[in-house]
Structure 1
């Protein structure tokens, strides 16, 4: 009973030595299989297409990058006659511009157009005769090669932009071309939105001016009609001169007839007492003098003309700022040749060892069956 554990340990050592002996006997087979896997891994590593990725980081532009846009925005706030609490904020305007650029950066149609205009895509697509294959290539490049992502979780104004290509130069050049194209598309969208905002404000101001104009002209017509009626009444009553009887119309018995703000309706019934001569003179003066509109009307006209002049100005510049400019990538993403060869050798060694042990187990089982 005391010798049983020793015997078990002895048998285990014998089995372990037999295992190593089996592997050692099959070392040439293991080596051959490992070499085959190394060769296959090498073939893949040295023939697979390389992938290089160029990266850039963009953020909210500096004021000098969009000086033309900011100048128009500042003028817009000066002439638009907005509410007193609406002031021009440079930083906010820049952030709004970058938001438009960011939206274009993620817009699929914009990215498709940006990539399709690059020399890199045009070179690759020349070898494809089928239009469907070209579209498949373009969609694949947009979906897998060009990407944008937030640099940090809580910062909505800092983004990384990447492009992957088969060579380092292609990755760098396409990234620069794509960002510039997206910037131009975003500039057009920014200019369009600014133009629409200016046109809408011009329309609003023109509507206000038209209301003032119509109101003033309506008051002018009412004044003329009231004087004509009073003149007829004075002639009918035979009153040619002011009789000196003050009409009972309150403290303001004689009102400035030239003023557009005078409420003539308060004294219409008593105007004939001023006499036909006086009323005729007032009527002639009113008929021959130009209409004087309120001061606000002329201010609106000047501001409207200033706003319309802004529509002729063009916007250019850069809707982003490079916090990290695109650079030629120095290390390729794939294939990693050394890693592939090491993994090939390890996989070949494991499979080779498994084959040797499997062959040995099958052989031992056959011998055992023959012996029984």
Structure 2
């Protein structure tokens, strides 16, 4: 029994070996047919490579601006808000965040065009806000590098203008606030002067009623509103004239407010002096295209042509050798 089983296995292995050899021989005899399919696949792949646009991607890495790049803007904020002004680090972070928002908006706008453009901004290192990686895809290496640099400059200038415009609006608002403060202080000073004159006139009337002409007290620092009439009509009349011609008296806070107003009115920040980013790596010139991959495309074309050709040959031979059952 064992001997018979061994013989059956041997014959089965022989048939499998013969079938495999036969399969290889079929493919070899039809090598020209398979070659035709391979050539057709290569031609189609070549046509695809000719028609398909090349894609090259330029990359750049940016981070928050240096202190010098936002110095004029930061100085303006310090003059405008004094001790309430944000720190230099806050200014740097705010400007790069505005750049990120504007760049993202531009990226989305380009992607929604009839002929979309691929402009991307993302974190360079996952989990870290900065630095940022920006990239642009174009039909040539030079075009991708040039256009990426242009878009970065465009967003930088746009953001600087927006910061300058916001600053001008804040300056107008602050000027209006300071002027209102000065007006209020002047009104208070005028009211204090008018009240002082009224008090002296009232004391003069009392002195005239009491027929006091010359001062009746020696120490003027002890004079109160109730005892002012004791200064006499002559002194009180002179005081009325002096107080009427005397300029308004203001507190030191008034002059400080006026100084702040003058400083703010002279503020003039040029947007060209503001830069809201700094290059860690400038837009590079790509040396490898993203697509199409010519070598890979041709290899796949040869493999695909060979597979299709082999399949056709095997199916054709199988149909020829097929014998329907009676």
1:334 aligns with 2:291: yes
Change (3 A) 1:174 1:239: same
The alignment covers a number of residue pairs equal to 321
> Partners in 2 of 1:65 and 1:109 — Cα distance?
25
Change (3 A) 1:18 1:168: same
Give the corresponding residue for 1:97. 95
1:208 aligns with 2:184: no
> Partners in 2 of 1:185 and 1:203 — Cα distance?
27
Give the corresponding residue for 1:56. 60
1:39 aligns with 2:17: no
Give the corresponding residue for 1:235. 208
SS in 2 for 1:292: coil
Deviates more, 1:147-156 or 1:235-244: 235-244
SS in 1 for 2:70: helix
TM normalised by structure 1 equals 0.78
Asked if 2 retains the 8 angstrom alpha-carbon contact of 1:56 and 1:326, the reply is yes
- Runs of 4+ aligned residues of structure 1 deviating over 6 Å after TM superposition are none
> Can you list the C-alpha shifts for 1:96-126, whole angstroms capped at 9, x where unaligned?
22222222111239965xx9xxxxxxxxxxx
Change (3 A) 1:186 1:110: farther
> Can you list the C-alpha shifts for 1:180-212, whole angstroms capped at 9, x where unaligned?
111111110111122223333333332322222
> Partners in 1 of 2:11 and 2:82 — Cα distance?
104
1:155 aligns with 2:128: yes
Give the corresponding residue for 1:347. 304
> Can you list the C-alpha shifts for 1:271-318, whole angstroms capped at 9, x where unaligned?
3233222222221211121111111101110111011101x3423243
SS in 1 for 2:248: coil
> Can you list the C-alpha shifts for 1:224-253, whole angstroms capped at 9, x where unaligned?
112212222221232223334999xxxx74
TM normalised by structure 2 equals 0.88
Give the corresponding residue for 1:30. 34
1:290 aligns with 2:267: no
Give the corresponding residue for 1:314. 270
Unpaired runs of 5+ residues, structure 1, are 116-134, 255-266
Asked if 2 retains the 8 angstrom alpha-carbon contact of 1:57 and 1:325, the reply is yes
Unpaired runs of 5+ residues, structure 2, are none
Displacement, 1:353?
A: 1.7
Root-mean-square deviation (CA), in Å?
2.7
> Partners in 2 of 1:213 and 1:110 — Cα distance?
54
Question: Structure 2 matches for 1:133-152, cutoff 5 A?
Answer: 136-137=114-115, 140-141=116-117, 145-152=118-125
